[in-house]
Amino acid sequence: MATPPHIIFAGGMTGGHLFPGIAVAEQLTALPRRPQITFAGSGNRFERRHVARAGFGYFAIACHPLGGSPWKTLRFVADQVAAYHAAVRFLRRQRGSLVVGLGGYCSVPMARAALHLGIPLVLLEQNTFPGRATRWLAPRASLICLGFEVARRHLEASCPVRVTGIPVRSQFGALEHTRATGRGPIENRENGEKHSARSLHSSRRRHRLLVLGGSQGAESLNQAVPRALHKLRHNLGAWEIVHQAGEGKAAAARELYKKLALPARVVSFIDDVASVLAGTDLAISRAGGSALAELSVAGVPAVLVPYPHATDDHQRRNADLMARRGAARIVDPRVLSDRLDNLLAESLAGLLIDPWQRQLMAHAMRRQARPDAAWTVAQMVAELAGTAHFRAA
């Protein structure tokens, strides 16, 4: 029997890069010829925890971001060189069949090693404006899978470029059931408590406002959202607030809600976000491509607050597209004419009391969804991996 192909997913760091890779890997395990799968990343705790939970192998390679000082630049270059050689050794030893680049600087060493060894390279791009790693690697890739059609114009590529949508994890496959039942765990990692989404409801169905600052949380949202909601407290009687604050940040956000006398469920991270989104009526969120894909599949309208320091301002570009399509509103921290909490309150005020407007936005959000993206990408990856020939050179 032929040895199954070995597929390596390179990159991670944050959920926006890592989770689409896990989504594709989950689909690959359902194929008749199940491949060996390894994730290669920076070694941080977030990556290790979620890859282990998904049941895949993990290989850590040292990498640090490009900094502004000469010392940080030198460290970045040295890390990239060392990581590249480590990746070459890994692919030779483990006989890698195909590498999937998930974006970000940590994906580059393994992607470069694949190109050196003649191993097919697939790139996943989650944003409307491709990241630097995608743009740099595109000319030599074997296949590029885009979340948005508009990203194509920013790439120079001779390989096939497919608009697949952004892969979402298998937990979203049961979304209709969870939307109906309202079940799903919300975990506070700081004190180990778990609560079901149903436990957050009273006997009478309440509306849910979900705050998502990305997988790492967002300090600006942790400060501004409670203050914005305090200004709108007279419109919150029928609403419950669930706030994902980020690792190590939940206690401070929880204390602020308490100080403002606002009842809220504040947690570090929501593992089963699909179940929670199933019972959500409105979200306040960053505008990374993966977050938008999950909101789209769940059909949750959003007030988007793009991360102001995102590379190439890609979150603002993502948010602009969703706003033009009627699925979201934007509060942009880079062009504030007032305090962030005041602008958030202004944007939220009508949505909290107008179910018709929320419904129109929810329909527009669902029209952006591509729930089969992970399966589509997995099929193309499997086809490439099945015909790959390892060249130990």
Q: How confident is the model at residue 393 (pLDDT cuts 50, 70, 90)?
A: very low
Residue 313 confidence class, pLDDT cut points 50, 70, 90? confident
- Which are the contacts of 246, defined by CB distance < 8 A and separation ≥ 6? 213, 214, 215, 216, 217, 218, 219, 222, 268, 269
3-state secondary structure 91-104: HHHHCCCEEEECCC
Mind listing the pLDDT tens digit for each residue in 268-293? Answer: 999 899 999 999 999 999 999 999 99
Read off the amino acid at residue 169. R
pLDDT tens per residue across span 315-334: 999 999 999 999 999 998 87
pLDDT of residue 102: 96
Q: Which of 3.20.20.80, 3.40.50.2000, 3.40.50.300, 3.40.50.2300 would CATH assign to domain 6-168+371-386? A: 3.40.50.2000
Domain ranges within the chain, ordered by starting residue: 6-168+371-386, 170-366
Taking residues 88-95, report their average pLDDT: 96
Q: Could you give the CA distance from residue 330 to residue 319 in angstroms, rounded to a whole number?
A: 7
pLDDT of 91 over the 80 cut: yes
Give the dihedral of Cα atoms 227, 229, 235, 237; nearest 10 deg: -110
| Position 95 confidence tier, pLDDT thresholds 50, 70, 90 | very high
DSSP readout, 282-336? EEEE---HHHHHHHHHHT--EEE---TT-GGGHHHHHHHHHHHTTSEEE--GGG-
In the predicted structure, residue 50 carries a pLDDT above the cut 70: yes
pLDDT at 388: 46
Distance CA 285, CA 334 (A): 16
The position carrying tokens 């944050």 is 14
* Domains 6-168+371-386 and 170-366 equal at CATH topology level: yes
Which of the two residues, 387 and 337, has the higher pLDDT score?
337
pLDDT value for 278: 94
pLDDT of res. 217: 66
Asked if 299 and 365 touch (Cβ cutoff 8 Å), the reply is yes
**Per-residue model confidence (pLDDT) at position 200:** 37
The CATH class given to the 170-366 domain equals: alpha beta
Supply the pTM of this predicted model.
0.88
Over residues 140-156, the pLDDT tens digits come to: 999 999 999 999 999 99
- The DSSP output letter for 216 is T
* pLDDT value at residue 184: 47
pLDDT score for 1: 55
What lies within 8 Å, CB to CB, of 230 at 6+ separation is 260, 262
pLDDT in tens, 6-30: 999 999 788 889 999 999 999 999 9
